[in-house]
Amino acid sequence: MTASYRWQQGDKVYHFGSLAELMAKATPERSGDALAGVIAESAEQRVIAQMALADVPLKTFLTEAVIPYESDEITRLIIDSHQLAAFAPISHMTVGDFRNWLLSDAADSQALSALRDGLTPEMVAAVSKIMRNQDLILVAKKCHVVSAFRNTIGLPGRLSTRLQPNHPTDSLDGIAATIFDGLMYGNGDAVIGINPATDNVPQTIKLLAMLEEVIQHYQIPTQSCVLTHVTNTIEAIEQGAAVDLVFQSIGGTQGTNDTFGVNLAVLKEAHEAALSLKRGTVGNNVMYFETGQGTALSADAYFGVDQQTCEARAYAVARQFDPLLVNTVVGFIGPEYLFDGKQIIRAGLEDHFCGKLLGLPMGCDICYTNHAYADQNDMDNLLTLLGVAGCTFIMGIPGSDDIMLNYQTTSFHDALYARKALGLKPAPEFESWLAQMEIFSDVDKVRLNQQLAKPFGASIALLSDK
Amino acid sequence: MTASYRWQQGDKVYHFGSLAELMAKATPERSGDALAGVIAESAEQRVIAQMALADVPLKTFLTEAVIPYESDEITRLIIDSHQLAAFAPISHMTVGDFRNWLLSDAADSQALSALRDGLTPEMVAAVSKIMRNQDLILVAKKCHVVSAFRNTIGLPGRLSTRLQPNHPTDSLDGIAATIFDGLMYGNGDAVIGINPATDNVPQTIKLLAMLEEVIQHYQIPTQSCVLTHVTNTIEAIEQGAAVDLVFQSIGGTQGTNDTFGVNLAVLKEAHEAALSLKRGTVGNNVMYFETGQGTALSADAYFGVDQQTCEARAYAVARQFDPLLVNTVVGFIGPEYLFDGKQIIRAGLEDHFCGKLLGLPMGCDICYTNHAYADQNDMDNLLTLLGVAGCTFIMGIPGSDDIMLNYQTTSFHDALYARKALGLKPAPEFESWLAQMEIFSDVDKVRLNQQLAKPFGASIALLSDK
Amino acid sequence: MSKLVSKPQDESVVTESRWQSLKQFTSARIALGRTGTSIPTGELLDFQLDHARAIDAVHRALDVATLNQQLVASHSLSHVITTPPLLVQSKASDRMVYLQRPDLGRQLSEACWQQLCDARAEYHHQEQRQEQHKGQHQGQQEYDLAIVVADGLSSTAIQKHALPVIERLVEKLSGDDAHTWSLAPITIVTQGRVAVGDDVGECLNAKITLIMIGERPGLTSPDSMGIYLTWAPKRGAKDSSRNCISNIRPEGLPYEEAAHKAHYLLSESMKLQLTGIGLKDRSVGLEEEAQLESDATSSFLIG
Amino acid sequence: MSKLVSKPQDESVVTESRWQSLKQFTSARIALGRTGTSIPTGELLDFQLDHARAIDAVHRALDVATLNQQLVASHSLSHVITTPPLLVQSKASDRMVYLQRPDLGRQLSEACWQQLCDARAEYHHQEQRQEQHKGQHQGQQEYDLAIVVADGLSSTAIQKHALPVIERLVEKLSGDDAHTWSLAPITIVTQGRVAVGDDVGECLNAKITLIMIGERPGLTSPDSMGIYLTWAPKRGAKDSSRNCISNIRPEGLPYEEAAHKAHYLLSESMKLQLTGIGLKDRSVGLEEEAQLESDATSSFLIG
Ligand code: B12
Ligand code: B12
C-alpha cells in the first residue's frame, strides 16, 4: 500500500516509486547511498525530488511507513508512541511548510520542545533534506535539550566532552594516565567513557571499579561508562558492579539491531537495571547511545531506505530510554558511507539537527578514519559549526588520536578551542569543580593554570619518586 | 643569492631549492598550485616542507625575497616599509615559534596590533601554512582592525555587508530595485558597491550620481562605490563626480598589477585624489581593494611563488593606502585555482587571517562559480567560520545570485543568518539608522519589521500606483 | 495510488516582500520574502534547481557542425567573408582538462596552429595572385581583423548569440565609411580561453583579434557571451592590452548594442593603434541614450 | 648556501605538561603541552606526518608471494597443515573499488569461489581414499576450522603478524587434549573484508572460519590485526554471529595472548556449537592475570 509520487517540472513529469525512494533521491550526495544504489542519478533529479518531497504533507508520514509496521519493531515504536496532540500545530503542513515554520520566529525554544513527541524520525529526516547547512544550524541552536546524572548536560552556552581514555590492551595505568591528561585540560564532564579492547564481563567490571575509584576520590561531578555490549553491562550490574551509564550502539532498523545483538526488550531490561541502582545525584538519565549513518547498510538491513533516514530512526530508539547522551559517531566507519570531509560535515549537522529536534541530548564524535578523504581541517570546520549549532558534547582524546579504535576524533585541546572561540562552558557542576581544583585559572576566558593543579600534584610527584 | 633548505627526517634528507619553493611545497593542497607546478608531490612531502618551514627564522624573510627586490616594486615596498622596532618582539623566533606565540595568551589584541608593521606578507603566509583552520580562526578573532568613512567598520562583535546591486545592463531602475531590497534586509553598511557592466567614465559618473542621491535622500550612514578601473575613477573625480571610495583589483606581484593596468604610482594618485574630496564624516579611509588567490598565476606573473603567498603580498599593496575595505573574492575565479568547497574554505580562512594580521579591514566574498565543485552548503560553512573568526564584512546580493558577474555569493538573508547565529551586529551608525528607519523591529534579536519601513513605503506605493 | 503533489498549503509563516512590483526592473532574485530571516523553501529549491542546471551548462559541448553551417549559410556574411570558417581546438583535450588547465585552453594545439598558418599562407598566395592581377602590391600582407568564436565556459552562449552578433557587426564594418575592413576567415575554437584568440590572430597575421566567448554560466544567465578585443595579437599578450564587452544576450546587452560597441572599439583601436587600458570605451550606447532620458523612473527610490 | 634548519629557538611560550612521566604507561598522545590552549607546533606537525603516512598504509598492497612462501616454509605449520595455502581474491578489483564498495570486498570473485569449491572437492576425494584405506567412513565430510588471512585495511598488519599468530594458534590446537582439530588449508584473500571468510568457510565446508584481517590503520598503530570467528560460516552471515579479537600487535595484544584467546573461543565455540553474542569471552588473559596483581600501580591517580 505504498504510494508513488509524481512531480511536474516544466513539461517533464518525474516519478518516484515510494516515500522511501523519494526521500533517498532527495538526500544530498553521499557515498553510502550510492553504494546502496538509492541515490539520485543527477543533481537535477535530486532537486526535483526535494521539490516533490517539500510538497508531501507531514500527515503522510503517519500513514506511510518507510519500513513496514508489521516487520519492524522500530516502525511500531515510532507509530505507537506518536502523540497527535503534540503534532497538532503542524499537522496541516507539508514538509516545505515545516521548514519554513522551523526557521520562523514562531518556532522558539518552547514551541520546539512542545513539538517533540509529535514528530516522527522520518518527518525530521525529510525536512533536513531540504535544509541548507545554515538552516540545520539555526534551528538546532533553538532546540534546548537538558539531561542530568551527576551533572547537568545540555544547558545553552555549554559544551561538554566525553573523556575517551582508550588503550589497546586496556592497561589500567595507560587508561588512568589518559584520564589524568584529559582532566588537566578540563575534559570529561559528559562522561568518562572507555571502549574496552577486551570485550568481556570481568574486564568491564575491573574498568568500572577503577573509574568509580577515580570519580569518588576526586569527587568529580561526572559519570563513568564502559562501552561494552549491553548484555555485558546487564551481567555486570547483576554482579554488583558500579554502573553509572549503560552503553549501546544502536541502529534505525530492527535488522541492524539484530546484527548488533540488541532489541527494544534488551534495552528496556538494561534501562531498568541501571535505574534501579539510583546512582545519579542531580538526575536519572542513565543511557548512553551511539549511532552513525551507514550502520544499516553495513548490516545489510536498510530496505531501500537512505542512510540518513535510517539514522534518524535510531533516534526513536534512543528517545524511548531517556538517555543522558546520544552520540553520532559521524565519520567513524569510513569513506564507504561518508566519503570525504564535505559529506562528514553535512552528515554531522544533519544528525545533530534531527536528534535535537526529536528531543535528544545530541553530541557528535567529530571524526574520520585514515582511509577517508578528510583531515584535521575538516574536523575544525565541523567542530566550529556544531559549536555554533549548540551541540551537546564532543569527544576528547589525547592529540586527536584513538590508539585503540584507530581513528581521529577531537582532542582535549580542540574542546578548549571551541570553548574559547565560541564562549562556551562545561556543565555547571563540572565548571565549579575545575575552578575549585585549580585546573583553570579563569574558566570564562578558558585559561588553564600554569601550575599543576594541587590535588593532582601529589599523584604525579609520587610517581616521579618511584 | 637564494638559499636552499634541507630537512632530515629519520634517515632521509629532503631538499628544497629556495624559500619560495619551500613555502609552495608547504602549502595545503589546491588546484592553482598544482596548475603552476609548485605543489608538493605527496602528502608526506608537504608535511616535511612544513616542518622545514617551521624551523626557518623569521629574520630570513627580511633577507631572502621570494621575488627579487630589483625587479618587483611590491618586494621593494615590503622591504622598505618594514619596521624593525615593531618586529623586535618576535625577531628571535622561527616560523614555528611564531605560530606558538600567536596562539599564546601573550598575543592579545594589543600585542597583535603593535606587531603589524613588523610583519611582512611572506612571514604571515608562512605561518599560515603550518596552522590548522582552528588556529587561523582563533588568531584572526584576536586581531581588531577598525576603519571608518561615513560609519565605523570592523568593531568587535560586528559584521558588515557590501550591498552589491549589479545589473547586466546597468539599468538604474534595476540597480535601485536591488538596493531597496538589500536595505530592507539591513544590508549595505560596508558599502553600496556596483560592478558596472559597461566599464567607462560616463557610466561611472551616472552610477555614482544615483548612489549619491539615494544615500543623501535617506541619510544612510554608508558609502558608495563604482567598481570600475582606478583610472576611470580618477577621471571621474577630475570631472567632479561624487566619489566616496576608490576601487581597484590588485595582485601581489608587479607583473599581476601590470595586467590589471595598475601600479603603486597610479594607486597613490587615486588615493590622494579621493582624500582631497574630504567626503568622509567619521573617518577618512577611502580605498576599497579586491584580491583573490590565483590572479598572479592567471596573469602568468607568479615567478614560482605559490598563490597564497602572492595573495598575502597583495595585502602589502593594500596596506599602503589605508583602505576602508579589503575583500578577498575567494572562489570567484573558479576551480582552476580553488577546486572545491574544501579549498575555497581553507583559502578564505587563510586570506582573512593574513589580512587581519597585517592590519587590514578584511572582508570576504564567500563565493563560488558554476564550474567549481562547491555549493551553498560550503558557503554556509565558510560564512559561519569567518563569522566566528571576526570577518569584517561579506557581500550581500539578492538570493546569492549575481546576475552580471555570473557567480554565487552570500545573500542578504545569509548576512542575517550570520548575525543571528553568532550574535553579530552591523556598524553602529548603520545599526541606529536601521532602527530609526523601522527596518528592524529588534536589531539585537535580528527581527525585521513585519510592516514595510515607513520612509520607504511611499516609494513603493508610488510605484504601484503607476 | 499515484498523487501529483500539490503546492504548499500553509505559507502563513512566510513574510512576503511588499515590493514585488520592483521585480519588473531586474531579473535579480529580489523580493524573495522570508521566514524568520531565512529564504523560504520554494525560493530555496528554485535556486538549487538553477544551480543543478548551470552545472550542466558548463559541461555541454559546442555543436560546431551546426554553428559552422549557420555561418556558411548566413546571407549577410557570405558576400563579405567568402572563405568558410576554420575549425580548430585548443590544447585542452576535454572538458575536465579544460577546467583544470586554463593554460592549455589559452593555446591552439600544435596541429591547429600549423593548420592556421598553412591556411594563412594559402590565402596569402591566392591574394597575391589576385593583387598581381589587379596590379596592386603590398609588402606586409595583413588582415585588419580576425573574428574568433570560442565555446569558453558556456557553449550555449555561443550557440545562441555568436551568429546574430557577427552578422550585425560585419554589416557595420562593411558599411564603414572611415575604413575599409579586411576580414580574416572566421575561426571556431573549441575548449578555448580568451587568450586563444592571440594564437589565432598571430597565425592569421591580423591587426586585431575579436574573440566571442561563452562567459561562465550564471544561475540566471547560463548563456552570456563576452567579446574581447586585442590589438596586435600574439601568444603571451596581457589582459591589460585587451578591451572587453560583456553580458551579451537579449536580457543583458542586446545584439545591436554589442555590435555597436564592438564597432566603436574597433574603429578607435584602428585610430590609436592599440587596445586595452589606453583605449577607453567612450561610446554612448543606444539603450543608454534612451536610459538617460528615462532617469526619472530610475529614481523611484527617492520618491 | 645550504642550511640544515635547526630546532626552534624560542619555546618559552609553550607550557610543557608536567606529567611527562605518565607517557611510560601509554602510547596515546598525552602530555603534549600547550600554547594558550592549542597544540604546540612540533606536536601538530608530528601528527600531520603520521597522518600522511597512515594514508599510505591504507593503499599499500599485500605481498602475497612472500606471505605464502613464509607459510609454506614454516616448520611448525608444515607438519599440521600439509596442503599449501590457497590464494584468492574478493570481487573488489582494486583498492579504490575496495574502499568504495565494501559489498564487493565481502565476497569471493566468481572464479575464486569456484577455485575453492574445486579444491575442496579434490581434498574430499583424496581424503575419502585415505579413509577407505583406513577403513573409516564419514557421511558429511567437514573441516573443523578454516583459517583465512585477508589484507583488510592494513596489509602491513597481515604481513607482520599473521604468521606468528597462526604458528602459535596451530601449536595450541595440535596440542589440544579436549578436541582433535581438523584444519582446512590456509586461505589468503586480497581486497578482503571480514565477511569474505564466510565465503571461504562455505566453500571449504568448515565448521568455523577464523579470519585474520588488517584493521584500519591508526596514526599510532598502522599495523593492527583483528581476528574474527564465525560458526557455520555461510555467505550472508550476520556480524552478531561472530566473535572478535582485536588490536593484535606487539604494542597491543601480544601474539601469545591473541593465540590463547583464539584457542579459548574456538574451544568454547565447539562446545556451544555457536559464535557471536551467545559466546562470551570469559577467558582470563595471561597479561590480565599479571595486571590484576599489579593493580596498585594502576591507581597512581588516586595517590
Ligand atoms: C573571471 C573574471 C575576472 C578574473 C579573471 C581571471 C581569470 N582567470 O578568469 C579576475 C578576477 C582576475 C578579473 C579581473 C578584472 N576584471 Co574581470 N571578470 C571576470 C568575469 C566575472 C568572468 C569572465 C569570464 O567568464 N571569462 C570567460 C573565460 C572563458 O575567459 P578566460 O580566458 O578563462 O579568462 C580571461 C577573461 O576572464 C579575462 N578578463 C577577465 N576580466 C577582464 C576584464 C578586462 C577589462 C579584460 C580585458 C579581460 C578580462 O581575463 C582572463 C584571463 O585571460 C567577467 C564577468 C562576465 N560576465 O564575463 C568580469 C569582467 C570581464 N571583468 C571586468 C573588470 C572591469 C575587471 C578588472 C579590470 C577590474 C579592475 N577594476 O581591476 C580586472 C582586471 C582584469 C585584467 N586581467 O586585466 C569587467 C569588464 C568590463 C568591461 N566591459 O570592460 C567584467 C565584465 C565584470 C564587470 N562588469 O565588472 N576578472
Ligand atoms: C569499524 C568498527 C565498527 C563498525 C563496523 C561497520 C563497518 N562496516 O565497518 C560499527 C560502528 C558498526 C561497529 C559496531 C560495533 N562494534 Co566495532 N569496531 C570497528 C573498528 C573500529 C574497526 C574494525 C575494522 O577495522 N575492521 C576491519 C575491516 C576490514 O573489516 P570490515 O569487513 O570492513 O568491517 C567489519 C568489521 O569491522 C566488523 N565488526 C566491527 N565491529 C565489530 C564488533 C564485533 C563484536 C564483531 C563480531 C564484528 C565487528 O563488522 C564489519 C562489517 O562486517 C574496531 C576496532 C579495531 N581496532 O579493529 C571495532 C571493534 C571491532 N568493535 C567492537 C564492538 C564491541 C562493537 C559493538 C559490539 C559495540 C556495541 N556495544 O554495540 C558494535 C556491534 C558490531 C556488530 N556489527 O555486531 C570491539 C570488539 C571488541 C571485541 N573484542 O569483541 C572493537 C574491537 C572496538 C572496541 N574495542 O570497542 N564497529
**What tens digit of pLDDT does each residue of C111-166 get?**
999 999 999 888 877 777 776 666 554 545 689 999 999 999 999 999 999 999 99
pLDDT category of residue C240 using cuts at 50, 70 and 90? confident
A118 is a domain residue = yes
Predicted pLDDT at B275:
98
pLDDT category of residue A453 using cuts at 50, 70 and 90? confident
Predicted pLDDT at C132:
66
- Do D35 and B56 count as a contact with CB atoms less than 8 A apart? no
Predicted pLDDT at C8:
43
Q: Please name the residues between 98 and 137 in chain A that touch chain B, using a CB distance below 8 Å.
A: 105, 132-134, 137
Does B176 reach chain C within 8 Å, measured CB to CB? yes
Q: Mean of the pLDDT values across residues C157-181?
A: 95
Could you tell me which chains touch chain D, where touching means 3 or more CB pairs under 8 A? A, B
Using the 3D structure, point to which of A121, A140, A159 is the last residue of a domain: A140
CA neighbor of D149 nearest in space, from D139, D164, D134, D136: D164
Predicted pLDDT at B92:
96
Using DSSP's 3-state secondary structure scheme, residue B157 falls into coil
Chain A neighbors of B377, CB-CB under 8 A:
28, 132-133, 342, 345-346
pLDDT category of residue D291 using cuts at 50, 70 and 90? low
- Of A276-280, B250-254, C218-222, which range is least confident? C218-222
ipTM (interface predicted TM): 0.92
Does B55 reach chain D within 8 Å, measured CB to CB? yes
Q: How many C-beta atoms lie closer than 10 Å to residue A277's C-beta? A: 16
Predicted pLDDT at C291:
52
A215 shares its domain with A132: no
- Structural domain total, chain D: 2
Report pLDDT digits (tens) over D100-118: 899 999 999 999 999 999 9
CA of D228 to the centre of ligand 2 (A): 10
Q: Which ligand is nearest to the CA of A198?
A: 2
Q: Mean of the pLDDT values across residues A99-110?
A: 97
- Do B137 and A377 count as a contact with CB atoms less than 8 A apart? no
Q: CA-to-CA distance for A331 and A373, rounded, in angstroms? A: 10
D130 shares its domain with D87: yes
Predicted pLDDT at C117:
92
A114 shares its domain with A24: yes
C292 is a domain residue = no
B455 is a domain residue = no
A123 shares its domain with A228: no
Task: Spell out the per-residue pLDDT of chain B, length 466, in tens.
Answer: 457 898 888 888 899 999 999 999 999 999 999 999 999 999 999 999 999 999 999 999 999 999 999 999 999 999 999 999 999 999 999 999 999 999 999 999 999 999 999 999 999 999 999 999 999 999 999 999 999 999 999 999 999 999 999 999 999 999 999 999 999 999 999 999 999 988 789 999 999 999 999 999 999 999 999 999 999 999 999 999 999 999 999 999 999 999 999 999 999 999 999 999 999 999 999 999 999 999 999 999 999 999 999 999 999 999 999 999 999 999 999 999 999 999 999 999 999 999 999 999 999 999 999 999 999 999 999 999 999 999 999 999 999 999 999 999 999 999 999 999 999 999 999 999 999 999 999 989 999 998 887 788 777 776 665 5
C49 shares its domain with C66: no
B222 shares its domain with B77: no
CB of D284 within 8 A of CB of A200? no
Task: Indicate which residue's Cα is closest to atom 71 of ligand 1.
Answer: B229
Task: Indicate which residue's Cα is closest to atom 43 of ligand 1.
Answer: C244
CA neighbor of A389 nearest in space, from A108, A111, A159: A159
D4 is a domain residue = no
Which ligand 2 atom is at minimum distance from the Cα of A329? 11
A128 shares its domain with A199: no
- Rounded to the nearest angstrom, the minimum Cα separation between D6 and chain A is 25
CB of B169 within 8 A of CB of C253? yes
Q: CA-to-CA distance for B425 and B444, rounded, in angstroms? A: 7
- Do B405 and C218 count as a contact with CB atoms less than 8 A apart? yes
Q: Mean of the pLDDT values across residues A301-315?
A: 97
**pLDDT mean across residues, chain A:** 95
* Nearest residue of chain C to residue B260 (CA atoms): C240
CB of D32 within 8 A of CB of D124? no
Report pLDDT digits (tens) over A152-177: 999 999 999 999 999 999 999 999 99
D19 shares its domain with D138: no
D100 shares its domain with D44: no
D29 shares its domain with D121: no
- Do A298 and D297 count as a contact with CB atoms less than 8 A apart? no
D291 is a domain residue = no
The cell 612472500 sits on which residue? D66
Report pLDDT digits (tens) over D222-270: 899 999 999 999 999 988 899 999 999 998 999 999 999 999 999 999 9
Residue A373 is part of which domain span? Answer: 147-447
Chain B neighbors of D36, CB-CB under 8 A:
103-105, 107, 138
- Do A413 and D253 count as a contact with CB atoms less than 8 A apart? no
Report pLDDT digits (tens) over C258-296: 999 999 999 999 999 999 988 887 776 655 555 544 443
Predicted pLDDT at C287:
55
DSSP state of D22: G
Provide the b/e sequence for B182-221 (b: ≥16 CB within 10 Å). bbbbbbbbbbbbbbbbbbbbbbbbbbbbbbbbbbeebebb
Q: How many C-beta atoms lie closer than 10 Å to residue D240's C-beta? A: 17
Q: CA-to-CA distance for B67 and B62, rounded, in angstroms? A: 12
As given in the structure block, the three cell numbers for residue C231 are: 590589438
B466 is a domain residue = no
- Rounded to the nearest angstrom, the minimum Cα separation between B56 and chain D is 7
Q: Which helix (H) or strand (E) element contains residue D147?
A: strand D143-150
CB of A102 within 8 A of CB of C16? no
Q: What is the 3-state secondary structure (H, E, C) of B296-326?
A: HHHCCCCCCCCHHHHHHHHHHHHHCCCCCEE
Predicted pLDDT at A456:
83
Chain A neighbors of B137, CB-CB under 8 A:
380, 384, 421
Does A341 reach chain B within 8 Å, measured CB to CB? yes
CATH code (residue A82): 1.10.220.70
Which ligand 1 atom is at minimum distance from the Cα of C152? 29
A359 is a domain residue = yes
Q: Who wins on pLDDT, C277 or D195? A: D195
Report pLDDT digits (tens) over A179-219: 999 999 999 999 999 999 887 899 999 999 999 999 999 99
Predicted pLDDT at D3:
42
* Nearest residue of chain D to residue A181 (CA atoms): D30
B118 shares its domain with B164: no
A12 shares its domain with A133: yes
C149 is a domain residue = yes
A104 shares its domain with A171: no
CA of C215 to the centre of ligand 1 (A): 10
**Contact C280 CB / ligand 1 (< 6 Å):** no
pLDDT category of residue D5 using cuts at 50, 70 and 90? very low
A181 shares its domain with A106: no
As given in the structure block, the three cell numbers for residue D110 are: 566468481
Q: What is the 3-state secondary structure (H, E, C) of C100-128?
A: HCHHHHCCECHHHHHHHHHHHHHHHHHHH
Torsion of CA A289, A290, A293, A296, to 10 degrees: -70
Evaluate if residue C238 carries a pLDDT over 50: yes
B462 is a domain residue = no
Which ligand 1 atom is at minimum distance from the Cα of C226? 58
CA neighbor of C275 nearest in space, from C194, C220, C208: C208
Predicted pLDDT at A460:
72
A132 is a domain residue = yes
B101 shares its domain with B128: yes
Evaluate if residue C5 carries a pLDDT over 50: no
CA of C244 to the centre of ligand 1 (A): 8
Under 8 Å CB-to-CB from A297, ≥6 apart: which residues?
A32, A35, A36, A307, A310, A337
- Structural domain total, chain B: 2
Predicted pLDDT at D257:
94
Please, do chains D and B touch (3+ CB pairs < 8 Å)?
yes
- Do D101 and A460 count as a contact with CB atoms less than 8 A apart? no
Predicted pLDDT at B45:
93
A119 shares its domain with A176: no
Task: Indicate which residue's Cα is closest to atom 18 of ligand 2.
Answer: A405
- Do C53 and A44 count as a contact with CB atoms less than 8 A apart? yes
- Do C30 and B178 count as a contact with CB atoms less than 8 A apart? yes
Q: CA-to-CA distance for B358 and B119, rounded, in angstroms? A: 7
D75 shares its domain with D43: no
Predicted pLDDT at A318:
98
A332 is a domain residue = yes
CATH code (residue B287): 3.20.20.70
- Of B235-239, C33-37, D279-283, which range is least confident? D279-283
Does B396 reach chain C within 8 Å, measured CB to CB? no
pLDDT category of residue C298 using cuts at 50, 70 and 90? low
D25 shares its domain with D166: no
CB of A259 within 8 A of CB of D240? yes
B246 shares its domain with B370: yes
Chain B neighbors of C252, CB-CB under 8 A:
168-169, 197, 404
- Rounded to the nearest angstrom, the minimum Cα separation between D127 and chain A is 37
CATH code (residue C147): 3.40.50.11240
Residue D52 is part of which domain span? Answer: 14-56
C199 is a domain residue = yes
Evaluate if residue D208 carries a pLDDT over 90: yes
- Do B340 and A342 count as a contact with CB atoms less than 8 A apart? yes
Evaluate if residue D189 carries a pLDDT over 60: yes
Evaluate if residue A310 carries a pLDDT over 60: yes
**Contact C245 CB / ligand 1 (< 6 Å):** yes
The cell 506518536 sits on which residue? A82
D30 shares its domain with D109: no
- Rounded to the nearest angstrom, the minimum Cα separation between B54 and chain D is 8
- Find which of B342, B413, B416, B420 to mutate to test the A interface (most A CBs within 10 Å of its CB): B342
D138 shares its domain with D247: yes
- Of A146-150, B255-259, B328-332, C75-79, which range is least confident? C75-79
D27 shares its domain with D95: no
Predicted pLDDT at A179:
97
Evaluate if residue D84 carries a pLDDT over 70: yes
Chain C neighbors of A46, CB-CB under 8 A:
52
C42 shares its domain with C76: no
B428 is a domain residue = yes
CB of A342 within 8 A of CB of A241? no
The cell 589580512 sits on which residue? B355
Half-sphere exposure of A98 (CA within 13 A, CB side): 33
Predicted pLDDT at D287:
56
pLDDT category of residue D281 using cuts at 50, 70 and 90? confident
Using the 3D structure, point to which of C56, C89, C106 is the last residue of a domain: C56
Which ligand 2 atom is at minimum distance from the Cα of A407? 21
- Rounded to the nearest angstrom, the minimum Cα separation between B36 and chain D is 23
Evaluate if residue D296 carries a pLDDT over 90: no
